[in-house]
Structure 1
Amino acid sequence: MDMLMFQLDRRNSVPLYNQLYQEIKEAIAAGKIPVGTKLPSKRKLADFLAISQTTVELAYSQLVAEGFIEARERKGFFALPVEELAYLDVPHEEPAAPGERFEYRYDFNPAKIDTRSFPFSTWRKVAKEVMDEMNHHLLLSGHPQGDEALRQEISRYLFQSRGVVCDVDQIIIGSGTEQLMPLLIRLLDKGVLFGFENPGYALTHSIFEHYDRKAVPIAVEEDGISVHSLEVRGVDIAYVTPSHQFPTGTVMGATKRAQLLNWAASKPERYIIEDDYDSEFRYTSRPIPALQSMDRSGRVIYLSTFSKSLMPSLRIAYMVLPKRLLRSYQQTFLHYSSSVPRMDQQLVADFMKQGHFSRHLNRMRKLYKKKLEQLTAALRPFAPTVKVSGEQAGMHIVLTVQTVFSEEQLVERAKAAKIRVFGIGSYDVEQKTVVPPQIVLGFGGLTAEDIEKGIPELMRSWDIPIKKAGHQ
């Protein structure tokens, strides 16, 4: 392809890179840019459109992240195959590890967050405003789906940050994913078959089992859950974490998203449960829109929580039901009360409305990005023996280790050095042996000093010497 002719409007409030990204994406989805086509170089396209190379680079980076194009070393950027589907026209908790009494010096638990950077003074100020006698109505039971003030703020936030389109009455507030999931399971026909990612959330597996629902593990491929396996195994409801799969760190590309939505739309009883557990934290490009934002047939049930963005102890999660399920929900749970205290709901609503939530997220995103950069820098001297993946988003990465030791041995050797890590096999219900072994490293709760000192000690516990530094 010699060049791309697009009309970019400098007077538009939408940034130029975003306009360019949208134009190229729509051209690929419509087949105007055929599969395998080489896109113009960043320099040539920038000169042709009279824009900066940075603008083109930002647009290309987002297209790569979403799976519309791929970068081939020393060759350039090429269009990838994408199913022709209206879904592509996007409109403008990790599982807790088993508790054990053991004192670790360095804890790479992926469920931890940075508690030192929480804005306590601001939180205290907003809480004081809520705890006022003018708010005496908060002492009474509120709306069974959660207070409208909080649902309004969540609806606004989801549209602006994730592209999720929903009415306030589609949102249900609950005290954690583990409280909302059973409600959802009871809402669906008892005879349906659930399919969950494997490896994946341990909590999800146990919920299906506890509520006597049939569920099967579905393999996670390089670009997300296997849609072919969903079809072959006769799954009706697919549980996925598309924005940053836990624990592999895989980001579901555009083609796989389209395939998954096609799968769900092909039969009336099919749904997708999208768990968007840490979508706020993306580091290589702007956030990828939620799967729900691409849904045109009401098949995606959206779940998220404030556990990563604010604190796990807050115990507030939310679910966005498709309208086709909403009436059934309201009839089934007519006499239920919200499981979240109204004072807490009002506190979070005010925290969001006053702009504190968005500012907090911006600060934490920068902080976690810095920690990720420190972590990958600390691991770089041990390449290629240790390979890093899943670093595009979230608060954990995955290490693939070329070693004579098994995954279990690596975890035990780290424990002997008082370092806590998790093998990816611990999230696999089929307990398949992964060769070479893969280790999940969370970095949210670590300090810069923890990373600087902990990584070399972890490598020593695995007999990976520092002398490998510089090997590529």
Structure 2
Amino acid sequence: MLEIILSDSKKSTYKYRQIYEILKEKIISGQLPKDYKLPSKRELAKDLAISINSVATAYEQLIAEGYVYALEKKGYYIVELNAFKQEHSNREKLKESLIESKKHKEYKYSLSHMTTNSLHFPHKKWISFQRQVIKYHQYEISQLSHPQGPIEVREAIRDLVKITRGINCYAEQIIIGTGTQPLIDQLVGLFKSDIKAGIENPGYARVRDMLIDKGINVAEIPLDNHGVDIKTIKKENPTLQFLTPSHQFPTGTIMPISRRIDLLNWASEKENRYIVEDDYDSEFKYGTDNIPSLHSLDKNDKVIYIGTFSKTLLPSLRMTYMILPLHLLELYKAKHKNWLQGNNSIQLYTLKYFIESGEYSRHVKKMNLYYENNRTALISSLKKYFKDKVAIADIPAGLHFTAKFKTQKSYDEIKTSAEQYSLELYDMRRFSTDYVSNDDEWKKYVLGFASLDIDEIDNIVKILYKAIFE
């Protein structure tokens, strides 16, 4: 006799699901042999004191998955299954190093360069534009988007960068992606595998590591007071030279026009030679107008421009874009014609409305003032508490700056102290491949101020002082 025991516990699943699971296990384990006839739906429903519909639903699921077959007017029978080959009696256990916490590590205080201020994001206005998208773009959001993103959104970005960054391009040249790394991954796929990439050192470690992992020959290009060292670039002769000219990451250096001209001239001297301009936070400049993009000076289609909305809006929106020279665009379309656009179409169309309505420009202007006040307050507080034990690279741009602290403590000791005070803090070792000595009495840090509340800055600086000296 077929034994099925159902649970009435509130935590248990639906009755049909319990029947399905019990029968499936009996079939897989071999307890029910092939062609075994199951009780009729009415018979099993009566035995279990449940509805016929519950039994019918369970049987139909078993039939759909291939465990059971039905013969008209005869009943339901078990399908013949081969036994599973079990080389191990138990599944491999998850290694401790692979176990993920359900909760991200949260710091009480943060001087991270990666954050923005979500409290001042215009959530209500963004949501109102989302409603418009859902109302007026039902067709567009129900379809797969163009591989480069909807053309209407790219047109809005085209108009924006023309005004804010001096860039003249076609909307067709713009490729929207979910971040800088995915776009760069697509970009390097347009070139031969033996290319060389020049990376600023110190610089954006995530891109450097990604390129190395892809097997690309990476040349570390040192910096001077004007940005990347042009002599080293000429010596290494990279195919792609990655730059952050408007606010070098992480040192903050703003590249002067003389160095920009030298780099553009270098790129124009050889056919297969390009500059990748990562313009990650150029919207924020204090005291003077924004620095024009390197792309705006390019007359020979040698600059590949990458911009992002992660700093001006929210990092979690994952909206970045790349502007390709026209001859590379042809290669891109041939190479990635089957690419599926990864961005959320509702968010992309919301961005279009946000830009075209003028809300984006108003938000950036508002945040520029907010961040400038934060930056000024943080520098003032650092000078007040650290006095001659701090040296600040006071470059009025972006959402972070670097500072050196005169201390006998090692980087690791400072990191441990910062963790004890629940302070998020990043030192220069994260960004440089050069050896950073603990013996150097000046320890260098990258200090972000975007997520700070101006009223808490003094208290955070006091905690930073304790972490570095106590």
Q: What interval of TM-score do these two structures reach, taking the shorter chain for normalisation?
A: 0.7 to 0.9
Distance 1:136 1:233 in 2: 50
1:133 CA displacement: 5.8
Provide, for residues 184-203 of structure 1, a one-character-per-residue CA deviation record: whole Å limited to 9, x for no partner: 01012222100101111111
Aligned residues: 367
1:134 CA displacement: 5.3
Distance change (3 Å), C-alpha of 1:243 and 1:390: farther
Asked if 1:375 corresponds to 2:381, the answer is no
Distance change (3 Å), C-alpha of 1:101 and 1:356: closer
Distance 1:147 1:200 in 2: 32
Asked if 1:353 corresponds to 2:356, the answer is yes
Deviation beyond 4 Å, 4+ runs, structure 1: 98-103
1:242 CA displacement: 0.7
- Decide which of 430, 444, 450 is 1:444's aligned counterpart: 450
1:304 CA displacement: 1.1
The code of the aligned residue for 1:459 comes to: Y
User: Counterpart of 2:250?
Assistant: 247
1:390 CA displacement: 4.6
User: Counterpart of 2:116?
Assistant: 113
In the TM superposition, what are the counterparts of 1:8-47 in structure 2 within 5 Å? none
Distance 1:418 1:333 in 2: 44
Distance 1:310 1:147 in 2: 19
User: Counterpart of 1:259?
Assistant: 262
- Determine helix, strand or coil for the equivalent of 2:287: coil
Distance 2:106 2:175 in 1: 39
Contact 2:178 2:343 in 1 (8 A): yes
Provide, for residues 366-386 of structure 1, a one-character-per-residue CA deviation record: whole Å limited to 9, x for no partner: 111111111111112223220
The code of the aligned residue for 1:445 comes to: S
User: Counterpart of 1:225?
Assistant: 228
Asked if 1:454 corresponds to 2:454, the answer is no
User: Counterpart of 1:398?
Assistant: 402
Contact 1:106 1:450 in 2 (8 A): no
Contact 2:253 2:395 in 1 (8 A): no
Contact 2:148 2:175 in 1 (8 A): yes
- Decide which of 396, 413, 425 is 1:409's aligned counterpart: 413
Asked if 1:280 corresponds to 2:286, the answer is no
- Determine helix, strand or coil for the equivalent of 2:388: coil
User: Counterpart of 2:209?
Assistant: 206
Distance 2:178 2:228 in 1: 27
Distance 1:390 1:240 in 2: 21
User: Counterpart of 1:8?
Assistant: none
In the TM superposition, what are the counterparts of 1:289-438 in structure 2 within 5 Å? 289-381=292-384, 382-433=386-437, 435=440, 436-438=442-444
TM-score, normalised via structure 2 length: 0.75
The code of the aligned residue for 2:360 comes to: F
1:338 CA displacement: 1.7
Distance change (3 Å), C-alpha of 1:128 and 1:208: same
Distance 1:134 1:269 in 2: 41
Q: Percent same amino acid among aligned pairs?
A: 31
1:138 CA displacement: 2.5
The code of the aligned residue for 2:428 comes to: I
Q: CA RMSD in A?
A: 1.9
Asked if 1:172 corresponds to 2:175, the answer is yes
Distance 1:243 1:433 in 2: 29
The code of the aligned residue for 2:365 comes to: N
Structure 2 stretches lacking a partner, 5+ long: 1-99
Contact 1:222 1:250 in 2 (8 A): yes
The code of the aligned residue for 1:420 comes to: E
Distance change (3 Å), C-alpha of 1:411 and 1:223: farther
Moved more, 268-277 or 381-390: 381-390
Distance 1:421 1:289 in 2: 31
Distance change (3 Å), C-alpha of 1:263 and 1:408: farther
Distance change (3 Å), C-alpha of 1:212 and 1:383: same
In the TM superposition, what are the counterparts of 1:35-184 in structure 2 within 5 Å? 103-132=106-135, 135-184=138-187
Distance 2:109 2:395 in 1: 20
Distance 1:433 1:252 in 2: 27
1:103 CA displacement: 4.8
Distance 1:175 1:293 in 2: 24
User: Counterpart of 2:31?
Assistant: none
1:428 CA displacement: 1.0
Contact 1:250 1:390 in 2 (8 A): no
Distance 2:115 2:155 in 1: 28
Contact 1:240 1:272 in 2 (8 A): yes
Distance 1:409 1:396 in 2: 23
The code of the aligned residue for 2:450 comes to: G
Contact 1:219 1:226 in 2 (8 A): yes
- Determine helix, strand or coil for the equivalent of 2:252: coil
Distance 1:173 1:308 in 2: 16
Contact 1:272 1:299 in 2 (8 A): yes
Distance 1:342 1:220 in 2: 40
- Determine helix, strand or coil for the equivalent of 1:187: coil
Distance 1:251 1:410 in 2: 29
Distance 2:137 2:263 in 1: 49
